[in-house]
Structure 1
Amino acid sequence: MNKKTFAAALIAGTTFLWACGNNDKKEGDNMTTGETTMSDTSSAAATAMSAADQDFAMTAASSDMLEIQSSNMAMQNASSERVKSFATTLIRDHGATSDQLKSIVMGKNVTLPADLMPKHKTMLDGLQGKKGKDFDKAYMELQVNNHQEAVNLFQNASTGLTNADLKGFATQHLPHLRMHLDSAQAINGGLK
């Protein structure tokens, strides 16, 4: 069989399997051959994520955006070099997790938010107009609160999600979030 014939057969076979997966038959129903059919999960359904998986992905993406946006504000408005150093770490780390999350959900019928979720927007808005020590304190309190929520979110996701890639993502990044939380609490406690 030459390459063109093989490719055509592969495409025809894939199309046939896709069509079988899109019918209304249930797993175990017989086709004309009397054989067990595929369940009605098409390739699109097989890659789709559960509602819980989607909620996690969207909340994690919004949380990353909050970390990056608030940390960019810290680079402009903070007075403490320790706060600015922490902000630099968050921009780097949460930028990397954002990129990884985007690649995980690509092609899985999930659209990550382009804007902050309302609760994250409210947190970011709380930093507006603050500068110097007032900003430092408000920023670090935001970081403590958001990282506590993120640790809980990722802890639950690492054991409760159905999508293996997202579950692995949550498990992989949970220790980093805990380190961020520890650092945020230490810096916040040292501010006057």
Structure 2
Amino acid sequence: MSKMLLLMPLIAVAMPAAAAESPTAYLGKAGAGDLYEQTSSKIVLETTRDARVKSFATMMVGDHGKSTAMLKSAAAASGVKAPPPSLTPDQQAKVRALKQAKGAARDTLYWQQQKAAHSQALQLHQDYAAHGSDRSLKDAAAKIVPVVKHHLDLLNAGR
């Protein structure tokens, strides 16, 4: 009995933490993430005077537009219908908070939100790249991972 108990945790560690998301669920989450990144970045670009925040936010609008296009193309190649992107309730609340913040407080809040959002995005894309069921989407997710890692590196080095 004691040997069996010792083996059970090892088996659990070897198995993926969760089953892979469906292609449609993955696309929905990725689309929401890209939309949030672009929306929040456009808000901060309206008022920031911080050159580092401005540069990062500008990059977010461009890079997340590219990842959206990449995923749409991969979905089309596989015949998967990508749901229209929409913000989650949590993302909507973050956008409201960002709109209410002013000046340097907005920049600081934006930076904090970006760190959390990019950590979530990294996990989403890594998981799908490793365990997804659609080859075209897995390939796209794998190409997005290093870009998100780069964003996180910039976020962790700044402010």
TM-score over 0.5 for the pair: yes
1:13-47 per-residue CA deviation (whole Å, 9 max, x = no partner) reads xxxxxxxxxxxxxxxxxxxxxxxxxxxxxxxxxxx
2:67 is matched by which residue type in structure 1?
T
User: What RMSD, in angstroms, separates the aligned Cα atoms of the two structures?
Assistant: 1.7
Identify, as 1 or 2, the structure richer in helix. 2
Determine the C-alpha separation between the residues in 2 that align with 1:154 and 1:60: 8
Structure 2 residue 92 is matched with structure 1 residue 129: no
1:110-189 alignment runs, 5 A limit: 110-187=81-158
One of 40, 58, 72 as aligned partner of 1:70? 40
Structure number with larger C-alpha Rg: 1
1:125-181 per-residue CA deviation (whole Å, 9 max, x = no partner) reads 220122221011000001000000001111111111010011001111101101101
Does the CA-based 8 Å contact 1:154-1:170 persist in structure 2? yes
Seen in structure 2, the aligned counterparts of structure 1 residues 159 and 114 have a Cα distance that, compared at 3 Å, is: closer
Instruction: Give the drift of 1:108.
Output: 2.8
Does the CA-based 8 Å contact 1:67-1:91 persist in structure 2? yes
One of 45, 56, 61 as aligned partner of 2:31? 61
Seen in structure 2, the aligned counterparts of structure 1 residues 183 and 161 have a Cα distance that, compared at 3 Å, is: same
Determine the C-alpha separation between the residues in 2 that align with 1:154 and 1:112: 17
Determine the C-alpha separation between the residues in 1 that align with 2:85 and 2:151: 24
5+ unaligned residues in a row in structure 1: which ranges? 1-49
- Who is 1:83 aligned against? 53
Instruction: Give the drift of 1:51.
Output: 5.6
1:146 is matched by which residue type in structure 2?
A
Does the CA-based 8 Å contact 2:129-2:139 persist in structure 1? yes
Identity of aligned residues (%): 28
5+ unaligned residues in a row in structure 2: which ranges? 1-19
Determine the C-alpha separation between the residues in 1 that align with 2:102 and 2:21: 40
1:80 is matched by which residue type in structure 2?
D
Determine the C-alpha separation between the residues in 1 that align with 2:93 and 2:46: 20
Does the CA-based 8 Å contact 1:102-1:112 persist in structure 2? no
